[in-house]
Chain A
């Protein structure tokens, strides 16, 4: 880079001689000799101002101003030896150097070299200052990003200890810098298997997993986790950053959609059967009316009614499944509860020629339940018992027993037994699975699934004993009081 020098000298010949000399040293030289030339030329910026600033007071002031204002402009003063002291007094450190006339060429060269070095240093400093400012801004920006990113971010060392976390992490998992990742995220005492952080430490690559983590408030979240290495200047992995995105809602929705899809698919078969039977009823009703065949009409009407009820029941089951709701607890007399249930099941038992035996322990007392759901659940178990008898053709007589026992003061046993077809092992294992049915087109695979869930939500459990061709015993064990944690029935749970 060629440096630009302004020579201020009222001795034009001296200035020109000096200029020639400096041009030979590869400087770009401008000369201001006349007093009125000097001031405007001082308005442009120079690398070096060389000369005698004492031509006029105005020029002296202006040069002093420039020297003070612009770090980039180096001022070298030359004056007659007798005014050297005065010049130094006036300019002090504002000038880089003072030379006395006549100028010693060596001294001038050294001064110019010093000016060049000075300028270089100043430029370097300026660059550093600029970079530092950028760096500072970048850091602020990064910190902001770190905190506002809609993810949980933690930085972990080789021992899986957390060294930094972002705001979201703090909010949901607490401010545990120095704690172990697996303790904070999963309340575990040992590291998780297949930890992506460990894998990233090993191979330096990005790893991802899907995890279920537990927040400080005890809520469980599904998170999609990515890990990335943080390297030091030597390229060694010193820490690993773990970013977890909360995808709980997506997962819930997905699960729900999947099972809804599955349900509609599996149910379409049942629906088709019902619609066909409904067609049949309508056909019989139509032909019965044409033929004025009273018995046929009344039978057909019965069938249409039954199919409508079945379709209604199925639609209600779908609605139950599609909705989430809380149980509405009330305290009920056990004997009233049983009475209602029996009234619901009796017609089906009569129709299928099944004897229904009821036995209730003396003074059965009260129970805290959501009657509409619990009654429906117990009715479902009883209807299944009746169905199991109806499918069986090997025994002359079929009996369903409904027994209520009180094993202790806090619980009740509802025992439902039948001597129907019984279940093989597979059916026993899958009977509470969504959409599992052993009834072909007659079943939706929803009834026992929902019944079982209702029992669980009441804090109860179901024991099943069954032998093929002999019969089945369900023991439904229910607490009399509502469980401490009132669980919300969440679809797709």
Chain B
């Protein structure tokens, strides 16, 4: 350490991939002499303070050859460097400290990371490489069954995940109702899933943050890559606009029409497509402009009778600016929208709904000194909600025009976050986010007697919609309700030996948007509703403790965590609530709470021909909606009940074997407790309808879920590094053809009139083949 009153200088720079100039995120830059290190940020930038002197700079990154460079610091210095991919390392040089071993010193915990390389080798259904499906193999992440939209993190709901693609919010992460995710893996550079200890720079969702960065495009030479699979085909092109300064990337993906609907000669189709674009232009060492776009749609057309289109669109303009040697800033201007459209010819109407938002963010990374590294910034988002509009399809339609009232809101936040190296052994990351939500004026806002939109009928023990007593219109510049929250975040790491540490974290978060859905799995039809006079924001408190260990120099690693989280104001729906085209959601919901707790274990082997991991989660996720007064019964009689996605045990085993340069093999096995369901306990007949009698909500379980998947990747010419290269991926999903129950329905048999239980299983054994190429 600099004991003398030596001058301190700043070393800064950007680290890029030698073959493409693509910036690299999370590269370790280490100065062994000083026992100091820094990690590149989301834009490949690093900055570190050093006393005058000569140092060895060690730069290492997973999958790349480590750089060791001697550097003399006698003034503020910029050192930009390029790293070369080192995939052929296996038979040759073994690259040290370049494995996926965990960072023992950093207070960062409860984070799932997967490299795109790992994701691309995992066996998946229909051979479609899928980011979200791969994350399910890690602890703390699950979904509500095969084919369910989105994912659940630590017992949280699907709408509680903040999903960012190049910093822009994605509202629906699923194609085809959940079979595939909307992220084209070819266009993705890096991703990180925060399950807890979420830094103050993120906010607006309470359960998790999935932060995905798209690739910038190759600014050295033109490249193309693509793939042909069973379900979809992909094509990506990238290249320089101005060599070494500007680049473009365009990636498209489309499924084939008539996918699942091969019904006789009917003109049915179901397909999806998405388009990713990126333009990057480096003005100079201090300034860079990035433009990103995403556009995706799902289309279902059944006989021209039912036409359904939905998807996300996102545009984002960013300006990276290095203000001084130790301050990096990024200004983002983001537009994002989610659209849902439906045409029902047989009823005679068109339906449109959606959410739009305009977001401005200004974020600072401030590399203050050895002890403190700061992040601070301002965020502001303007939301516009269109809950739905129904229009007659033509003059013969019996439908009247009907518009649900648009809603508007402004969400602001200011935050700061400090990474504090308290001592050699103790590091902390703490911060505070101040969030503020302004529900703006709208037309026809209902008022209810005693401000009570939902009335409990004590005699019949049911909840009934209150009739509005008045309706007011407000101008959009008026604020009709304000919420403000202070969200403290804290994470600590105590590394009591070089390879072991304890970590602890606490975070409070507020969520002002709510996904209105009461089906077991979200549908694209679900609408987002803002907090306001009747709906309060969800507030989360999460605590996590963990033990982390690298074994044998990171050859193996072990991560164990326990967590507890509590969410206030989780809305729940009264029995029989009709959510579709309901302009007064407040009349059918009650405020409840939810909680989740559990244990997570991840043991990995990070090096060698044979790599893989075992992930285990033991958890419980519950919800409770008591009555508002002593006489009210609430929902499920006010008792705690398991959420639809609660899984007691969730185990996955993933293994990859590098057989030789041509062949790679992977396997994964999953075992999960069956999802909660409610079984009938009796029946009766009313007015010709056979009605099942149900017990307590979600008090039963589907049978346990398990399956084994295998895949093999074949590279015909592994030594070919130039020109056209190709690979084949062969996969088998659900090898032993387990008929896993996706749901059990209880129904009257049409022919016999007897009641029966029917198990629905989605995917049996599915072989797949994918051909990938690049040139």
Q: Do A and B come from one complex?
A: no
Please report B residues at the A interface, Cβ cutoff 8 Å: none
